[in-house]
Amino acid sequence: MSTQEIRFSGFGGQGIIRCALITGKALSLYDDKFATMTQSFGPEARGSACAAQLVVSDSRILYPYITQPGVLMALSQEAYDLYYPELPNGGALIVEEDLVKLKSDHSNIKLWRVPATRFAEDLGNRLFTNLVALGFLTAVTNVVTADAMKKALPGLVPDRFLKINQKAFDKGYEYGVEAMNKAAS
């Protein structure tokens, strides 16, 4: 991987910005990579469009903005509708399968579906959706290691919820490993 561009997207309140912060911290501090993050969100705090972009590289990053994301994580329909057209052939699309209805043929990309919200609810709260999705992204993209992601959680999730967030990450990661194994067979 020389340079990789990732867009995390969804709606405000899903922890989209936190996804990019955790991944950037994991890459920069624990995976010996360079990362820059930018973010955008609507004027409302919750329910409006929200995105965070991460540029990852083995060497110093000279331009901190994404030009064409190779990975798109879309946790809402609006995010999918808005950002899917930017995904190049061969890119990876990760969608929240219960919230995103696909609108076109995706034979030119790697499509991954994860029931992140359902898994988070099973763990006790929808607020853990982002960590389930991050675990899944970690497993199916190999952009960042699972070990680095877990090390990055302290300080970026509340201490009292650290263990449940780790559990949510593990649930998403295990589901991603299963998905990879199914795709390979």
- Least confident span in 39-43, 79-83, 100-104, 142-146: 39-43
Q: So what's the pLDDT on residue 1?
A: 54
What string of DSSP letters covers 52-106? Answer: EEEEEESS--S--S-SS-SEEEE-SHHHHHHHGGGPPTT-EEEEETTT----S--
**Domain residue limits, the chain:** 3-184
Tokens 């061969």 sit on residue: 90
Q: Are 6 and 51 in contact (CB under 8 A)?
A: no
**What number of residues does the chain have?**
185
The CATH architecture to which 3-184 belongs is: 3-Layer(aba) Sandwich (3.40)
Q: So what's the pLDDT on residue 11?
A: 87
| Tens digit of each residue's pLDDT (9 = 90 or more) over 143-165 | 999 999 999 999 999 999 999 99
Stated pTM of the model: 0.93
Pick the residue with more confidence: 185 or 52?
52
| Tens digit of each residue's pLDDT (9 = 90 or more) over 8-66 | 999 888 899 999 999 999 999 999 999 999 987 665 556 677 899 999 999 999 998 99
Pick the residue with more confidence: 13 or 89?
89
Burial class of residue 85 in the structure, from the number of CB atoms within 10 Å of its CB (0-12 exposed, 13-18 middle, 19+ buried): exposed
Between CA 134 and CA 126 the distance in angstroms is 14
Backbone angles phi, psi at 9, to 5 degrees: -145, 155
The tokens describing 42, both together, are: 């609507």
Put the strands of the sheet holding 3-11 in their side by side order: 34-41, 49-57, 3-11, 71-74, 92-96, 110-114
